[in-house]
Amino acid sequence: MPASTKANASTKVVNVAVAVIYYKNCYLLGFRHAAQHQGNLYEFVGGKIEAQEGAERALIREVAEETGINVDDNLMVKLGRIHHDYGDKQVSLQVYQVELIAEQYEQHKLAEYGLEGQALKWVDKRALLAGEYPLPAANRTILQWLQLPPAIAITYPLAHFGGHTDPAAAWLAYHQQHLLPSAWVYVRLKDASVSRADRTITQLMQQRPDIQVILPLTDGSLSSAEIRDTLTSQALMTHPSISAYHLTHTELLHWQHSQYGQTAAADSIPAGQPLIVSCHNAESIAAANQLARMRIQQQLPPVIGIFVSPVLSTQTHPDTAPLGWQAWSALTKLADMPVIGLGGLSPSMIDKAKQYGGVSVAGIRQFL
Ligand SMILES: Nc1nc2c([nH]c(=O)n2[C@H]2C[C@H](O)[C@@H](COP(=O)(O)OP(=O)(O)OP(=O)(O)O)O2)c(=O)[nH]1
């Protein structure tokens, strides 16, 4: 093959549809043949998207061809899109979660081989996420996405306890008591006093070591650098329950603009933890996609989700017009990472959120 043709072949991006098939806590993996690209590794069922074929159609076809499972009528929820450069091949994975119904699982749970002779294995979610099954490098991001729970609680702003003699103590007592066991919690006070925010958040994490914490990049009105110096003090930085850092819509757009000039905002984003970002429109989702691509390229922990809000009207933002489910659903389609519904929702609305393209729901009052 002439060198130029070889170079073109290696830069051509292969579009792949990937199905994360599961029933309850059991996830289906295939095993790639030694001779295949990324051979001798486990994989989620999937394959190349053909010309003129959409990702979802390709997925239905590949799942049927490889496993015999007909997922035509199953709900598919898009998790995201990953561009990965393996050096010898570039792939763009379009990843969907496909939940089987009991009958489908019963029918296929004992199959040890797929229709193409490949080994199949149903594995426990915990073992999968713990990395017990070696997968291609691009799948690291998928495993991080799968950590997201169906519901995320958000703490009340400190001002909510403004009537108390010691609002921080009241905030702490309330959340210490009301957070559900092992809950994922976006812990923020929306308070201008950085030292108070730091102290109060640390206390909550000490009192409730079971919770998984999403920390604000900033809290109150101080600059990213100041809060990071305080919030990422040794004790907090190394706390095992920090699941992610959160960027507000404003911080995200600030990051995007700083890409082309001063880099202070870019530098203020922690490199060691996954991120969750707030978006309200197509522009900020495009910025979140850009940030997500950069994190993958730099092999940093990924953007594991975005809050897209407000889905419905809320008491906290009575003047903001809600998106409504249809417009929210249109926005979920633009995102290259899992979407979390926020605004006027309750944990019981998770099924509705999935039907409209999200993977989780979040909120304050209904989630505490
Ligand atoms: N099916 C699947 N492919 C994955 C995953 N992760 C990942 O990086 N890939 C990559 C490996 C391959 O380069 C590509 C999948 O393409 P494929 O399975 O249709 O293609 P292949 O090269 O193995 O097969 P072929 O050319 O012989 O048809 O995507 C995954 O979880 N599932």
CA of 54 to the centre of ligand 1 (A): 17
Residue owning the nearest CA to atom 16 of ligand 1:
47
Q: What is the reported pLDDT for 201?
A: 87
Global confidence as pTM: 0.92
ipTM of the complex: 0.94
Both tokens of 8, joined, read 């073109």
Q: Ligand 1 pocket: which of 37, 42, 44, 145 to mutate (most atoms <8 Å of CB)?
A: 37
Instruction: Please identify every stretch of the chain with a pLDDT value under 70, giving residue numbers as ranges.
Output: 1-10, 192, 194, 219-240, 260-267
Q: Ligand 1: which residues within 6 Å by Cβ?
A: 14, 16, 18, 36-38, 43-44, 46-48, 89, 91, 93, 136, 138-139
CA of 47 to the centre of ligand 1 (A): 5
Both tokens of 184, joined, read 């994922």
Q: CA 158, 159, 165, 168: dihedral to nearest 10 degrees? A: 10
Residue owning the nearest CA to atom 23 of ligand 1:
36
The answer to whether 339 and 311 have CB atoms below 8 angstroms apart is no
Q: Which residues lie across from 362 on neighbouring strands?
A: 152, 342
Q: What is the reported pLDDT for 242?
A: 81
Q: What is the reported pLDDT for 229?
A: 53
Question: CA 170, 174, 180: angle at the middle one, nearest 5?
Answer: 160
Residue owning tokens 């749970």 = 109
Q: Ligand 1 pocket: which of 20, 22, 33, 36 to mutate (most atoms <8 Å of CB)?
A: 36
CA of 145 to the centre of ligand 1 (A): 19
Separation of alpha carbons 254 and 138, rounded Å: 28
Residue owning the nearest CA to atom 2 of ligand 1:
46
Q: What is the reported pLDDT for 257?
A: 86
Residue owning tokens 């009340």 = 156
Q: What is the reported pLDDT for 6?
A: 41
Domain annotation for the chain: domains and CATH numbers: 3-140 (3.90.79.10), 151-367 (3.20.20.70)
Q: What is the DSSP string of 9-47?
A: HHHSEEEEEEEEEEETTEEEEEE--TTSTTTTSEE-EEE
The answer to whether 233 and 204 have CB atoms below 8 angstroms apart is no
Each residue's pLDDT tens digit, 64-77: 999 999 999 999 99
Q: What is the DSSP string of 150-178?
A: SEEEEPPPGGGGTTSSSHHHHHHHHHHHH
Q: How far is CA 299 from the centre of its chain?
A: 16
Among 70, 88, 76, smallest CA distance to 18 is for 76
